[in-house]
Amino acid sequence: MNLIDNLKWRYATKKFDPSKKVSDKDIETLKEAVRLSVSSYGLQLYKVLIIKNTEIKRELKKASWDQSQITDASHLFVFCNYTMNFDYHIDNYIQLIAEAQGIGTDALRNYSETIKSSIEKKDQIGKKSWAEKQTYLALSNLLAACAELKIDACPMEGFDNQSYNQILGLDELGLNAAVIAPVGYRSAEDSTQYRKKIRKPVSKLFQTI
């Protein structure tokens, strides 16, 4: 039941202690947790930027409604979905499968074409929505891993993603900032941590059919 206890412990941290930093070892653990996240077809059509540079965080704070979590947290995880060249990323993924299984890519041609066809059927809005959703799956793994390590985090949609894209040069890389999560350690002054966690009761949230 440690997982449940850890999830009860975590909350969306509103005020971080800027004097406390997450260790390099723990950052590597968080990276591995994100890497092992589920994604559609296993493609992982996203890239995760980990921002610790003070000046860059200050610039990003301006594009985040001036929320203090951006600069006070130890690190800022920026989950970016790819916006173009899906076939290229699929081909790279197929190559990884072939290498891992010790087979040629020809044996995976049908699977590759199935993925490409499925994505190609979506219109531009559908592709954008689908790609952005993948980042939220990875974000979930980050939050669970943070709770396991007793590292605080705050998933955030309150930012101007176009400004993020410009500041971080994402457009040129075919990337889009979809969702962010500052990680670090809560401040003793953050009154939010003392609030009772509010969730729907099991009887209201679930229905077995």
The helix (run of H) or strand (run of E) holding residue 116 is: helix 109-120
Q: Which residue type occupies 76? A: L
The count of structural domains within the chain is 1
pLDDT above 90: residue 22 = yes
CATH assignment at residue 197 = 3.40.109.10
Rg, C-alpha atoms of the chain: 19
Q: Is the pLDDT of residue 1 over 70?
A: no
- 47 SS3 class: strand
Query: 58-113 pLDDT, tens per residue?
Result: 999 999 999 999 999 999 999 999 999 999 999 999 999 999 999 999 999 999 99
pLDDT surpasses 70 at 27: yes
Assign 8 to helix, strand or coil: helix
Sign of CA dihedral 47, 52, 58, 61: positive
Domain limits for position 35: 2-205
Give pLDDT tens digits for 102-161: 999 999 999 999 999 999 999 999 999 999 999 999 999 999 999 999 999 999 999 999
Task: Give the span between the Cα atoms of 160 and 168, in whole angstroms.
Answer: 12
Supply 127's token pair. 């592709």
Distance from C-alpha of 10 to C-alpha of 188, rounded to nearest angstrom? 15
